[in-house]
Structures are given as structure tokens and as C-alpha cells.
Structure 1
Amino acid sequence: MSKPKFISIAAVALLALAAVFNPSPERHRSEIKEVMAQRSPIAGALGIGSLAAFASTYHSLGVASYTTAGERTLSIGVLGLVFVLQ
């Protein structure tokens, strides 16, 4: 197998995996709740994370996804992982 053909097949396989493991809206919201509660126990007790997760809007790019609240990006997800910003 030639090197360019192998690279093309590997790239297509990686994109397919990214699309299959793109985190769901529920996964983003649960991660936002969990991280906010870890960062601030008071915010966790008051349910601020739940409020932020409820108010967030999910956006899928096919191979990645993100959530926003207003103009602010709350989380980014790719390959089944969700990263909460700030």
C-alpha cells in the first residue's frame, strides 16, 4: 500500500471515529454541571451548574461539538470527551 493511500485511509477512519464519538447534548450538560460543582461547592449547592447547563445551546459540527450560553462558549467536545472552558 502506498504512503498517500494509507494516509488517506487513516484520515477517513479518524473522521469516522470522531463523528461516531461526538458527545451528545446530554453529555455536555452533565459535564458542565459536574465541573461547576467541583470548581465551586457553593455554586454546586445552589445549582448554578444546572442552570448554566439548562440555558446552554448545543452546536454539532459533525466531528466535534460545543455549547454556548449567549455569546460565551461553555464546553467543547470531540472524540467522546467534553472540555468545560473557564
Structure 2
Amino acid sequence: MRNSRLLWFIAGALTVALAVVLNPSPERHRASIKERIAQRSQLAEILHLGDLVAFVSSYHSLGVASYTVVNDRTLSVGALGMVFVLDQGAAK
């Protein structure tokens, strides 16, 4: 019984440590934002609107996950090395 609890504790601690290590950096969020905006519109790509939006975004880390905000709207969410850029309709 005790060995089983110890194993679960170690597995949990390793999972949390891995999530902290893999938490996406501000640069990963900004790169994903730039890429997603460029994919949505050729004009936005030509005008580098993704660069502007990425520049004004605020990065917030929760340790095991992170997110960026622009004008009180969540723009991207990241965890375990992955970044997801939210659609404008979903970012309300």
C-alpha cells in the first residue's frame, strides 16, 4: 500500500515537473500568433500584422501553462510545449 502511494506521488511530481519544463515561452507564443495571423490572410501577412499583434500581447505564465492577452482577450494558450491560438470568436 505504501509503495503504491509513493509511486503515485513520484509519477505526479514528475508530471508536474515535465509540465513546468515544457511550458511554452513568450517567444513560442508570439511565433505561433504571427504564423496563425499570416495563415488567415495574405494581406495580414504582407503588412506583418502578426508581428504587431504579437508585440502588443501580454504573456502570463501559470507555471504549468501560459497564455497571452490583448485588450483583455485571451489570444493564445499553451501547455506541454504546445501553443494554441484562439479564434477571435472564441476569445470573448
**Could you state the TM-score of these two structures normalised by the residue count of structure 2?**
0.86
Does residue 9 of structure 2 align to residue 12 of structure 1? no
Task: Flag as ranges the 4+ runs of structure 1 deviating above 4 A.
Answer: none
Partner of 2:59: 58
Identity among equivalent positions (%) equals 57
Partner of 2:26: 25
CA distance in 1: counterparts of 2:21 and 2:37, whole angstroms: 27
Q: Kindly report the root-mean-square deviation, in angstroms, between the aligned alpha carbons of the 2 structures.
A: 1.2
Q: Which runs of 5+ in 1 are unaligned?
A: none
Q: CA deviation at 1:59?
A: 0.2
Partner of 1:82: 83
Matched to 2:34, the amino acid is: K
Q: CA deviation at 1:36?
A: 0.8
**Could you state the TM-score of these two structures normalised by the residue count of structure 1?**
0.92
Does residue 45 of structure 2 align to residue 67 of structure 1? no
